[in-house]
Chains A and B, each alone.
Chain A
Amino acid sequence: MADKHKLLEVKGLTMDFGGLRAVDSVSLDVHEGEIAALIGPNGAGKTTFFNCVTGIYTPTKGDILLHPKGETTRRLNGLKPNKVTEMGLARTFQNIRLFPDMTVLENVMIGRHCRTKSGIFRSILRGKGVRQEEQQIVETSYELLQKVGLAEFANEFSKNLPYGAQRRLEIARAMATDPFLLLLDEPAAGMNPQETADLDQLICKISEEEKIAILLIEHDMKLVMNISDPIYVMEYGKKIAEGNPQQIKDNPKVIEAYLGEETDA
């Protein structure tokens, strides 16, 4: 693992809300080609960790470093979310946050925003360059919809999509920003077993075909154990374990966090 390129490096990340320490010096790395998972009981601070990394919160302490391949390292602390996305780190949300009154295709097209550049005046004049760019956005977005299997819904309003499809649309939208690292916040939440299995395949496909590294928060243990390596476990804001699925399964601390303390009979 050491020879792989390190994409995201989080060192001692701490986030306080007033007197409450939601994330307590958590360190975590994501390497190229990995599907890393962050698990833990409810309220362990996983989503807060995500929000710090993606710029929605500014962390109290610690470093978030991004090492894009072939570019200089960048520190993400305190950057605005849109800057973080521009640097190649896209995310999805735990509670689906699509644009309900836009079509499925348009939702994905929004993702292309930060990779395109026609401004107000050029949009008003609508010259050849702008029209070409627009068409390019449409084509790229449509291809992404094909990849996640939503091409047939392209012109539907996104609010009319079934639940599982909305989750996949969120992934497509995030991919439209051309990320090299994708953060998925509970992508399988509320899905039935069939949908979860499809998602399993989709995530592996993104990782292999698109060469996008993935960090996911998930509660569905079957999904996590199937696809991710390494796995990081958090409890009460602290990282309590890390390792491959087998190590995590055997780790007494993890078992304790999930099942409660063992009592002597």
Chain B
Amino acid sequence: MTNMLKEFKQSIVVTIWFVFLTFPLMVVRVNTMDNIVEWRWMNLVWVAIFSFILSYAWRYMLARQQVKKKDAESDGDRHGKIQLLLEDMSFRYKAMVVLLLGALIFPLVFDTYQSTIMISALIYVVLGLGLNISVGLAGLLDLGYVAFFAVGAYSYALLNYHFDLGFWACLPVGGILGCLFGVILGFPILRLRGDYLAIVTLGFGMIVKVVLENWSEFSFGPSGIANIDKPGLFGIDMDLAGSTIYIYYIMVAMVVFTILITMRLRNSRIGRAWIALREDEIACVAMGIDMARTKLSAYALGAFWAGMVGVLFAAKTTFINPASFTFMESAIILSIVVLGGMGSILGVILGAFILILLPEYLRAFSEYRMLAFGAAMVLMMIFRPQGIISNIRQKYTYKGVKEETDNG
């Protein structure tokens, strides 16, 4: 009770301070036309009310977080309700079926515009899941991830332009080229860690963009490549709505494919090695894990998804230029991974939907949408630094009795 009183007092102090600070701005107004000073006292009341509510809510949330932390310390096994629900396998399967059905019906219920938005959200889901391999699992911070996305997109655009190759032929090519670039980037940075790694990857992202902008004979420079073929379906001609729905379904399939494979990788011998590398590099090496191979495979596999989805991106927009592959994109993809929860597949998917759909649907408040977006991210990191869904470790089943398999 005393605590609440304290919070109350603190909030009042904050309110008074806020009122004082905003006084010249919100209350006083000099009307130069009539040469009078207007006193808008109502604004003062509003500022007071809002800042009080905000401050109180803020304090309340922080206090709650403290209590939770204490609980977690005293009892290591306690998870949130959502976390427990997610660990329940039968619920997970049911939820997956429902979600998949929803995803399949979506374009039939909603119009082309909604499907287009959904396609870009799904593209970011795949990008997030790809980056999740190198950042979330292997702990290799990558600020130039969009470079691999550009590699995929340009490989399709150029192959299509010069050799008239179709979407389906280019899809694996884009992925493999992405992989290759992942390895190329991977080699020089094998020894680097943390901040240094971030800077090098940032540079790599810049290099790719600058090359695409300036090497006009190769990439057609800033004017980009237009009239890229949309994905074909046995030569059937499709109108805009039809092909959007078609791309949407390809995208859903790709997301399912990505989830399946990243999930399998994560729970395999390779995935464990990645996580061990993230947790402690020296211990990881001392336990007999080949660091070079593990790092390269994480980069290559992460880049593979970006390359593949890059091909789809080029096919969807039918026009690409270097402006689509700025650092901002890398930052957004990284935010998806961090916001969703590093290493958590479901978290990354949710993160992608929130970060991509929220600004889309906030268009109504267009002036404030980046403000709301930024505020949401700041709040998120303060109150839930582990991301929306924190990493769930797999539970293994083992025979309780010591009877067989002695030293394999």
Q: Do A and B come from one complex?
A: yes
Chain B residues in 8 Å Cβ range of A99? 275-276, 279-280, 283-284
**Is B275 within 8 A of A118, CB to CB?**
no
Name B73's closest neighbour in chain A (CB-CB). Answer: A160
**Is B264 within 8 A of A116, CB to CB?**
no
A49 interfacial contact with B, CB 8 Å: no
**Is A138 within 8 A of B288, CB to CB?**
no
CA distance in complex: A86, B289 (Å): 9
CA distance in complex: A234, B81 (Å): 55
CA distance in complex: A106, B278 (Å): 14
A190 interfacial contact with B, CB 8 Å: no
Contact of A120 among B282, B288, B297, B406 (CB under 8 A): B297
**Is A123 within 8 A of B268, CB to CB?**
yes
Chain B residues in 8 Å Cβ range of A136? 405, 408
Query: In chain A between 134 and 159, which residues have their CB closer than 8 angstroms to a CB of chain B?
Result: 134, 136-140, 142-143, 146, 154-157
**Is B287 within 8 A of A120, CB to CB?**
no
Name B391's closest neighbour in chain A (CB-CB). Answer: A101
B250 smallest CB distance to A (angstroms): 20
CA distance in complex: A14, B120 (Å): 60
The interface-forming segment of B60-68, B181-189, B396-404 is: B396-404
Contact with A along B122-165 (1 / 0, CB 8 A): 00000000000000000000000000000000000000000000
In the complex with contacts A82-B288, A139-B399, A156-B76, A97-B275 CB distance below 8 A: no
Chain B residues in 8 Å Cβ range of A98? 279-280, 283
Chain A residues in 8 Å Cβ range of B395? 155
Contact of B288 among A85, A106, A133, A137 (CB under 8 A): A85
**Is B76 within 8 A of A138, CB to CB?**
no
CA distance in complex: A142, B272 (Å): 16
Query: In chain A between 87 and 110, which residues have their CB closer than 8 angstroms to a CB of chain B?
Result: 90-91, 93, 97-103, 105-106, 109-110
List 18 interface pairs A-B (beta carbons < 8 Å), by A numbering: A80-B291, A85-B287, A100-B279, A101-B279, A102-B276, A102-B393, A106-B275, A118-B269, A120-B265, A133-B269, A134-B268, A138-B398, A140-B408, A142-B398, A154-B396, A156-B76, A160-B76, A177-B288
CA distance in complex: A98, B265 (Å): 22
**Is A86 within 8 A of B398, CB to CB?**
no
Chain A residues in 8 Å Cβ range of B261? 124
Chain A residues in 8 Å Cβ range of B283? 93, 97-99
A178 interfacial contact with B, CB 8 Å: yes
A230 interfacial contact with B, CB 8 Å: no
CA distance in complex: A90, B287 (Å): 7
In the complex with contacts A102-B275, A110-B272, A123-B269, A139-B405 CB distance below 8 A: yes
**Is B76 within 8 A of A140, CB to CB?**
no
Contact with B along A69-82 (1 / 0, CB 8 A): 00000000000111
Number of interface residues of B (CB under 8 A): 40
The residue among A100, A106, A173 with the most chain B CB atoms within 10 A of its own CB is: A106
**Is A113 within 8 A of B269, CB to CB?**
yes
In the complex with contacts A140-B405, A146-B402, A82-B289 CB distance below 8 A: yes
In the complex with contacts A99-B279, A99-B280, A130-B268, A91-B396 CB distance below 8 A: no
CA distance in complex: A230, B76 (Å): 42
CA distance in complex: A142, B402 (Å): 9
CA distance in complex: A86, B287 (Å): 9
Chain A residues in 8 Å Cβ range of B396? 105, 138, 154-155
Chain B residues in 8 Å Cβ range of A138? 396-398
Name B342's closest neighbour in chain A (CB-CB). Answer: A101
**Is B269 within 8 A of A134, CB to CB?**
yes
- The 3 A-B pairs of least Cβ separation, nearest first, read A114-B288, A123-B268, A85-B288
Chain A residues in 8 Å Cβ range of B76? 156-157, 160
Chain A residues in 8 Å Cβ range of B285? 56, 80-82
Chain B residues in 8 Å Cβ range of A157? 76, 393
B290 interfacial contact with A, CB 8 Å: yes
Contact of B289 among A110, A123, A134, A178 (CB under 8 A): A110
**Is B265 within 8 A of A178, CB to CB?**
no
Contact with A along B367-378 (1 / 0, CB 8 A): 000000000000
B301 interfacial contact with A, CB 8 Å: yes
A222 interfacial contact with B, CB 8 Å: no
**Is B268 within 8 A of A118, CB to CB?**
yes
B392 smallest CB distance to A (angstroms): 11
Chain B residues in 8 Å Cβ range of A134? 268-269
B31 interfacial contact with A, CB 8 Å: no
**Is B408 within 8 A of A115, CB to CB?**
yes
User: Could you list 10 further interchain pairs (A-B, Cβ under 8 angstroms) beyond the known A81-B286, A113-B289?
Assistant: A56-B282, A91-B286, A99-B283, A102-B275, A105-B398, A113-B273, A115-B288, A118-B268, A124-B265, A155-B395
B407 interfacial contact with A, CB 8 Å: yes
Chain A residues in 8 Å Cβ range of B288? 82, 85-86, 90, 111, 113-115, 177
**Is B272 within 8 A of A140, CB to CB?**
no
